[in-house]
Amino acid sequence: MLKKRRRKAVRQKAAREQERIEAEEEARKLACPEYQLYLAEKEREDEIAANREELEHALQKAIWLEKERDAQLRFEEQRKSEEAKERQEHEKREKIRKEFEERETKAKQAKAERLKQQELVRRMLHERHVKLQEFAVTGADEYLNELQTTHNTRHEAEDCKFFLKTGACRHGYRCCGNHPTPGVSKVILIPSFFSHPALEQKVHAEYGQDVRLEFDEDDLTNCFNEFFRDIIVEFEMFGKIQHIFVCRNSGPHLRGSVYIEYELLRNAAAAYLRMNGRFYAKKQLHVEFRNPIVWPMAVCGLFELRRCHKGAGCNFLHILKNPDHRYVYNHFQESRLRRKEEVVQIATPLDLG
């Protein structure tokens, strides 16, 4: 402890001595004019350095404030831009939602209207079917005017000339003309009733595009004769027939179509009720009524003379010859009768005058 105290006292004494020497040295320096000038110069330089540092600090602060203001402006612009985009997206989503809701509403309304129309059509068809059955059985004229109402495919368009002449059009429902179809008529049409490979245009699986070369005219005639004798028994049950035409055209709208004209409306109605929807040769029959057809205008006269340049693709009727001389059609005789009727109709007003 004594040694420790002694070492401490020595260090304190040395420190006091050092402080005394430094104080004397500082007093000597302060007494020197040159040292006083040095201190004044150093104080002035320190003040200048402090002012410069303060200016630099103020400049850096101003620069930082300017950058901060620019950053705030950019941030505000970005925020506004994002808000505008978000608002546009929200408006777009709202517009899409409203359009979707409107479409859904319209679709529901259209579906309800369609179901309503289907139900109305179903009821009308059912009522028409009942009235047609009563007319076919009794022959009463009570529902005749209502049953003969014509159905038009396009009310605003002109009547299709080919449909008026032949009762068929190669454009079908896509035709720009109107196809007037009666509710009941003496003429019934069964499209694609008769089928034979010689009449088809499609590529056959076995014979390719030369399918017609594999079946001669005799084969087609024999097949048609069997078909005619098979169906004539059915259709004669409904009443007296005036004409039966079976088309041999290759066009899809005429190929294998069968036209049957009865003498009485009730016979045609009975045939329609009995045969529509029945199956023949693994295919369902679709029977349609047609307005009275002027056969000399519908049947191709050049084909009767074997001079039709359009061949099987002609839009007028190329008919097969009925077997057993039953309901045989003589084009030229019918044409002469037609011309005589027109002459009589023209001459009668002149005679009255």
What's the mean pLDDT when you consider all of the chain? 86
Position 96 scores a pLDDT of: 93
Beta bridge partners, 262, equal: 241
Residue 187 exposed, middle or buried by CB count within 10 Å (0-12, 13-18, 19+):
buried
Q: How many CA atoms lie within 13 A of 139 on its CB side?
A: 7
Is residue 302's pLDDT more than 80? yes
Is residue 353's pLDDT more than 50? no
What is the rounded end-to-end Cα distance, in angstroms, of the chain?
Answer: 170
171 to 178, 181, 236, 245: CA distances (angstroms): 11, 16, 32, 22
Residue 244 exposed, middle or buried by CB count within 10 Å (0-12, 13-18, 19+):
buried
Position 191 scores a pLDDT of: 93
Is residue 231's pLDDT more than 80? yes
Is beta strand 288-290 parallel, antiparallel or unpaired with respect to 187-190? antiparallel
Position 351 scores a pLDDT of: 45
pLDDT (mean) for 211-234: 84
Digit-coded pLDDT (tens) for 238-287: 999 999 999 999 888 999 999 999 998 889 999 999 999 899 888 899 99
| Nearest-angstrom CA–CA distance, 332 and 334 | 5
The mean-pLDDT minimum among 132-146, 271-285, 297-311 falls in 132-146
pLDDT (mean) for 294-310: 88
Position 310 scores a pLDDT of: 87
Position 123 scores a pLDDT of: 87
pLDDT (mean) for 95-113: 92
Position 350 scores a pLDDT of: 44
Map residue 237 onto helix, strand or coil.
helix
| Nearest-angstrom CA–CA distance, 261 and 235 | 10
Is residue 185's pLDDT more than 50? yes
Position 237 scores a pLDDT of: 92
pLDDT (mean) for 10-20: 91
pLDDT (mean) for 9-21: 91
Position 346 scores a pLDDT of: 66
pLDDT (mean) for 98-113: 92
Which residue do the tokens 């209207």 mark? 113
